[in-house]
Amino acid sequence: MGKNLIQQRRGKGSGRFRKPTFRFKGDIKMLHKESYIVKDLVRCAGHSAPLIEAKYDDGSTSLLIAAEGISVGDTFKINNGEVKIGNIMSLKNIPEGTSVFCIEGRPGDGGKFVRGSGTSAKVVAKNKDAITILLPSKKQKIFHPECRAMIGVASGAGRPDKPLLKAGKKHHIAKSKNQYYPIVSGSAMNAVAHPFGNKRSLRKSKAKPTSRNAPPGRKVGMIAARRTGRRK
């Protein structure tokens, strides 16, 4: 008998692969208000960037990604037309070349894109019904003009610059977020653990095409591949 594949263990629903959301501070949400004040700086295990506890003009609160250079007690505006670090504005009102982060994918969703520490995107083109944004991955994505974003760069830059030095440190970082670590190639496993594995370490197997109707214990690799081999 073999053993379950990683995707089968994930689908089982055990706590080993479940995010410890009870330890997370909460979701990031940009509310539709007029202004907010930075009440406190928050560290959350579920986010790589520092967070701020924002208190809005009507007394409501929410968590936001902290912009680089802000401090407790600062006040920022929402949709007032002023380009200032920490302000929240619609993309249609942000000039080209401005650095933004925490961008909404759809108007009103609270911010879904560019939220990692030290990241920022740039407004590169503006049309009447589309705003083109250059993402940190160097890819361009089109957003709705009514989508909002925060001005500036997400704080926490330089976080990955310090080397981890040993695997144990990486293990504890991954464990705090319940991420699977270490990731082992299927061809490096034994035959009992994976369809690509074998008993010879020098003869690594290659990923093979498999049918879309293959049983769960074999459905790995190039599933229902349209073509294989080198593209000419």
Could you tell me the two tokens for 111?
Answer: 């911010």
Q: pLDDT tens digit string along 103-120? A: 999 999 999 999 999 999
Q: Is the pLDDT of residue 201 over 70?
A: no
The pLDDT value given to residue 126 = 94
Nearest to 209 by CA among 229, 193, 189, 194: 229
Give the count of alpha carbons within 13 A of 46, CB side only. 13
Ordered structural domains, the chain, with CATH: 1-18+178-232 (4.10.950.10), 21-159 (2.30.30.30)
Cβ atoms within 10 Å, residue 208: 13
How do beta strands 35-42 and 51-56 pair?
antiparallel
pLDDT for 52 beyond 70: yes
| Element housing 114 (H / E) | none
Tell me whether residue 123 is exposed, middle or buried, using C-beta atoms within 10 angstroms of its C-beta: 0 to 12, 13 to 18, 19 or more: buried
Of residues 37 and 2, more confidence is placed in 37
pLDDT at residue 207 is higher than 90: no
**Which helix (DSSP H) or strand (DSSP E) does residue 166 occupy?**
none
Percent of the chain with pLDDT over 90: 63
pLDDT at residue number 53:
96
CA distances, 42 to each of 26, 45, 47, 136, 182 (Å): 11, 10, 10, 24, 29
214 vs 1, 46, 192, 219, 227, CA distance in Å?
18, 36, 18, 5, 17
Grade residue 59 by pLDDT with cuts at 50, 70 and 90: very high
Residues contacting 42, CB < 8 A, separation 6+:
25, 50, 51, 52, 53, 63
Q: Is the pLDDT of residue 232 over 90?
A: no
List Cα–Cα distances, 152 to 33, 69, 87, 93, 200, in angstroms: 19, 9, 8, 15, 53
d(CA 139, CA 133): 8
Say if residues 113 and 121 touch (Cβ distance below 8 Å).
Answer: yes
